Amino acid sequence: MLRNALGKTFRFVGYTVQYGCIAHCAFEYLGGIVVCSGPSMEPTIQNSDIVFSENLSRHFYCIRKGDIVIVKSPNDPKSNICKRVIGLEGDKVCTSNPSDFLKSHSYVPKGHVWLEGDNLRNSTDSRCYGPVPYGLIRGRICFKIWPLNDFGFLRASPNGHRFLDD
């Protein structure tokens, strides 16, 4: 009787560990569902929108300009932020605010990306904390899940003029 109970307990623990490992790998390497908060990505992503983030792109270095990514915050490593990639390593980016009369430019250093929110007037991004190390990228947002009337792939940046080709 005790042997039977121990056997069932160890089987249960074994399955729990196996499924826990599978779930960890799925969320770490494949992707997951993310609830976005804050106004920095409006109008593309509203506060409390639910999106799907895939993680394979960051592992295979397939992040491109224009992608929206989930990143460990450079200011607070316990939180994640959602921003659009404006520049990759070696790209020339505009580092000034849209309201600045004189525009300043810089180059993104090797191993870094330049991130900005779509709501430029209400976003803390690379214009404040500088280029972000590529290793802080957690995933790339593929599409919006909620609200249902917005379900689908995300629209292009309303700030396309900020992408420089030099």
Which one-letter DSSP state was computed for residue 84? E
Weakest-pLDDT range from 12-16, 101-105, 116-120: 101-105
- The SS3 of residue 157 is coil
Q: Could you give the C-alpha distances from 36 to 31, 59, 105, 116, in angstroms and in order?
A: 15, 22, 29, 15
Give the mean model confidence (pLDDT) for residues 84-113.
Answer: 84
Residue 2 placed within a domain = no
Catalytic residues: 40, 83
Per-residue pLDDT reduced to its tens digit, 106-141: 899 999 999 988 888 888 888 888 899 998 999 899
- Domain with 120, as residue range(s), is 31-145+153-165
Instruction: State the Cα–Cα distance between residues 129 and 68, nearest whole angstrom.
Output: 18
The continuous run of DSSP H or E covering 9 comes out as: helix 2-25
Question: In terms of pTM, does the model score above 0.85?
Answer: no
Residue 10 placed within a domain = no
Residue 160 placed within a domain = yes
The domain spanning residue 40 has which CATH number? 2.10.109.10
Confidence of residue 44 (pLDDT cuts 50, 70, 90): confident
Residue 74 backbone class (left: φ over 0; alpha: ψ -120 to 50; beta: rest): alpha
Quickly count: other Cβ atoms within 10 Å of residue 140's Cβ: 21
